Amino acid sequence: MYILIGGAGLVGLSLAQKLIELGHTVAIIDIDPTACRYAREQVGAMAFEGSAVSTEVLLEAGIRKADSLAAVLRSDALNLAMVTLAKHYGVSHILTRMRHPDFAEPLRLAGANHIISTVELAVSTMVNAIEYPQVESMMHFEQGQIEVLKLAISNSCYVVGRSVAEIAQNPRFPSGSLIIGYQPHPHMDLIIPNGSTILEPDSTILIVTKPGFIHQVIDFIQECQK
């Protein structure tokens, strides 16, 4: 895909690098010539020096052919302007960073498909790390109605040596929860398990559950053998 990024700050450059590693063609727009040079020489992206809310610069950067656009500029107002222009030029998939929640509705009305609140994301990540220190990572879906947890399984866990089906049938395993991913070893690929998959020590699992069941899931999976 051809992806256009507004802003060559830390987020913009990091995003560009990841996308290029995935095989996409990336162009960055920024007013800073040093940042643009870094994007070309160190990241491997195309870079256009100028304002990301200038129609002339956007057209030069190929906004009409962009499959996706990410607005990660220095202010919400600039991101709003870029989203509006991207919508005008027919970009079908528009993402933006947002700092202040007052911009959520304007960004949505302007055409942003995905609005990432940097403050909410940081706070949510830190709260999860404090409240659930056993969880390696946690993802939220449907405005927090569904949670996906990544949990490590130690040698002493009760679930070691048991199948996914056996675990699901245990009455203490929270109803509606489901093991959806399994990584036998940190250096192995994540797989989709079936009922006969046996959980090994030092492996990792992904579990989908409801917010109210998080503690029960953690306690059950990481319960030690007696």
For the residues of the chain, what is the DSSP string, one character each? -EEEEE--SHHHHHHHHHHHHTT-EEEEEES-HHHHHHIIIII--EEEES-TT-HHHHHHTTGGG-SEEEE--SSHHHHHHHHHHHHHTT-SEEEEEESSGGGHHHHHHHT-SEEEEHHHHHHHHHHHHHH-TTEEEEEEETTTTEEEEEEEE-TTBTTTT-BHHHHHHSTTSPTT-EEEEEESSTTS--B---TTPBPPTTEEEEEEE-GGGHHHHHHHHTPBP-
pLDDT of residue 138: 76
What CATH number did the domain enclosing 217 receive?
3.30.70.1450
pLDDT of residue 146: 86
Is residue 170 located within the same domain as residue 188?
A: yes
Number of domains in the chain: 2
Domain-terminating residue out of 118, 146, 173: 118
Is residue 161 located within the same domain as residue 217?
A: yes
pLDDT of residue 79: 97
State yes or no: pLDDT of 126 exceeds 90: no
State yes or no: pLDDT of 137 exceeds 80: no
- Mean pLDDT along residues 107-124: 88
49 within some domain? yes
Identify the residue with better confidence: 190 or 6.
6
226 within some domain? no
Is residue 24 located within the same domain as residue 73?
A: yes
Is residue 106 located within the same domain as residue 148?
A: no
- Mean pLDDT along residues 78-105: 96
State yes or no: pLDDT of 226 exceeds 60: no
What's the pLDDT band for 70 if we cut at 50, 70, 90? very high
What's the pLDDT band for 134 if we cut at 50, 70, 90? confident
195 within some domain? yes
159 within some domain? yes
Is residue 83 located within the same domain as residue 187?
A: no
**Least confident stretch, 12-21, 95-104, 128-137:** 128-137
Domain-terminating residue out of 91, 118, 145: 118
123 within some domain? no
Is residue 114 located within the same domain as residue 172?
A: no
**Mean pLDDT, the chain, as a whole number?**
90
pLDDT of residue 26: 97
For 168-197, the pLDDT digits (tens) are 999 999 888 999 999 998 888 889 999 999
Identify the residue with better confidence: 201 or 135.
201
Is residue 134 located within the same domain as residue 114?
A: no
For 38-51, the pLDDT digits (tens) are 999 999 999 999 99
Is residue 14 located within the same domain as residue 102?
A: yes
**Least confident stretch, 126-135, 171-180, 209-218:** 126-135
Domain residues for 88? 2-118
Domain-terminating residue out of 118, 137, 168: 118
